[in-house]
Amino acid sequence: MASINFMQNTVICSKGEQFRNLLVIKSGSAEATLGGHVFKFGQGDFLGLDALSTGVHSLTYTATSDVTIAAIQYEDIQTLKHLFQEKEEMANLMLSSMCRQVAMFLEFHAALKKEAAKAYDTVTKVHPLYEKLCTLYAFASKKLPAIATLTSPVEADDVAAWVHDYYIGIHGLEASVQKSFFSKQGIIMGFILGGTEEIVRVFDSCAHYQKYLESASKVLLSPTGFDLLSLVSELHIGSATISGADAAVDTIMTPILNTLSNMRYIDKEYLQKRLLAYKEKLNEVRGGGATPGKTADGQPAPPREKKNLANSLSEIMEYAGYPQEQANKFVRLVQEYTKQTDRSSSEDVVHRMRRELTNMFNEIYKNALVKYLADPVVSTVIKMFLNFGYMDAALAGYENADYLYSIADTITGDPDRGIYTATEWLAAIYNGKREPCRNEFDQDYPAYVAELKQQKRFDAAEEARLLADREGKLMFELENIFPIVNKLTYGRITIFCPVFSDNNVQRGLEDNLITADGIREAFNDIRAVDYAAFYRETVYTNPEIGINREAIHVEIMPEVILMPNVGVRGIMWQEIEGRKRTTPARMFVSLFCMTELKPLLVRLTGEFRWEMCKRVQGSRWQDVTEPSLTAEYVDYLQFYRHNRDLSTELKAGVKSELTRARNNYKSVFASNYSEWVLYESAGSPRLNKVARKIMMTYCTFPAAIRGALAQNPQYAEPLKRYVFKAQQREHYITRVIQKLVQVHGEAPQELHDELAFSKA
pLDDT tens, position by position, 702-735: 999 998 888 888 888 778 888 888 889 999 999 9
> What CATH number has the domain bearing residue 20?
2.60.120.10
pLDDT in tens, 513-559: 999 999 999 999 999 999 999 999 999 999 989 899 999 999 999 99
In a domain, 485, yes or no: yes
- Quick: pLDDT tens for 560-602: 999 999 999 999 999 998 888 889 999 999 999 999 999 999 9
**334-372 pLDDT tens trace:** 999 999 999 999 999 999 999 999 999 999 999 999 999
pLDDT one-digit tens code per residue, 97-112: 888 888 889 999 999 9
Assess whether 490 and 394 both reside in one domain.
no
Domain count, the chain: 5
Could you tell me if 435 and 581 lie in one domain? yes
SS3 of 480-544: HCHHHHHHHHHCCHHHCCCCCCHHHCCCCHHHHECCHHHHHHHHHHHHHHCCCCCEEEEEEEEHH
Write the CA distances from 227 to 112, 147, 352, 499, integer angstroms. Answer: 22, 10, 43, 29
Q: Assess whether 407 and 446 both reside in one domain.
A: no
- Whether 243 shows a pLDDT value over 90: the answer reads no
Alpha helices in 172-244 (DSSP H): 175-181, 185-220, 228-239
The residue-averaged pLDDT of 433-438 equals 95
Domain hosting 43: range is 2-113+161-201
For 370, list phi and psi in degrees, rounded to 5. -60, -45
Supply the pLDDT for residue 760: 84
Taking all residues of the chain, what is their mean pLDDT, rounded to a whole number?
Answer: 91
pLDDT computed for residue 531 by the predictor: 94
What pLDDT sits at residue 288? 66
Whether residue 250 is contained in a domain is answered as no
Mark whether 693 and 725 lie in a shared domain: no
My answer on whether 498 and 360 are in the same domain is no
**pLDDT tens by residue, 445-462:** 999 999 988 888 888 888
Residue 403 and residue 429 share a domain: no
Does residue 503 lie within any of the structural domains?
yes
Residue 18 lies in a domain: yes
Spatial neighbors of 730 by CB under 8 A, at least 6 apart, are: 755, 758, 759
Residue 425 falls inside a structural domain: yes
Does the residue 132 lie in any domain?
no
- Domain co-membership, 331 together with 396: yes
Whether the predicted pLDDT of 296 surpasses 50: no
Could you tell me which of 223, 202, 203, 210 has the C-alpha nearest to residue 263? 210
**CA dihedral sign of residues 372, 373, 375, 381:** positive
Q: 96 with 189, same domain?
A: yes
Please identify, among 369, 393, 411, the residue that sits at the C-terminal boundary of a domain: 411
3-state SS, residue 2: strand
Q: Tell me, yes or no, whether 390 and 486 share the same domain.
A: no
pLDDT band of residue 289 (cuts 50, 70, 90) is low
Q: Are residues 452 and 578 in the same domain?
A: yes
pLDDT in tens, 121-145: 999 999 999 999 999 999 999 998 8
For residues 289-295, average pLDDT: 49
Question: In this predicted structure, what is the pLDDT of residue 302?
Answer: 64
Indicate whether 438 and 368 sit together in one domain: no
Task: Tell me what pLDDT residue 96 has.
Answer: 84
Q: How far is CA 755 from the centre of its chain?
A: 31
Question: Which of these three, 146, 169, 201, is where a domain ends?
Answer: 201
Q: Which of 545, 576, 608 is the last residue of a domain?
A: 608
Q: What percent of the chain has pLDDT over 90?
A: 70
Q: Is residue 682 part of a domain?
A: yes
Residues 16 and 36 in one domain: yes
The shares of helix, strand and coil residues in the chain, as percent rounded to the nearest 5, are 60, 10, 30
Q: Which residues contact 16 (CB under 8 A, 6 or more apart)?
A: 56, 57
- Dihedral sign from CA coordinates of 254, 260, 263, 268: negative
Residue 123 belongs to a domain = no
pLDDT digits (tens, 9 = 90+) for 371-404: 999 998 899 999 999 999 999 999 999 999 999 9
Tell me the pLDDT band of 1, cut-offs 50, 70 and 90.
low
Residue (of 480, 470, 484, 483) closest to 443 by Cα position: 480
pLDDT at 457: 84
User: pLDDT-based confidence at 180, cuts 50/70/90?
Assistant: confident
pLDDT confidence bin for 295, thresholds 50/70/90:
very low
Taking the whole predicted model, whether its pTM rises above 0.85 is answered as no
- Residues 522, 600: Cα–Cα separation, whole Å: 10
In this prediction, residue 632 carries a pLDDT of 96
Gap between the Cα atoms of 176 and 456, Å rounded: 102
One-letter amino acid at 300 equals P
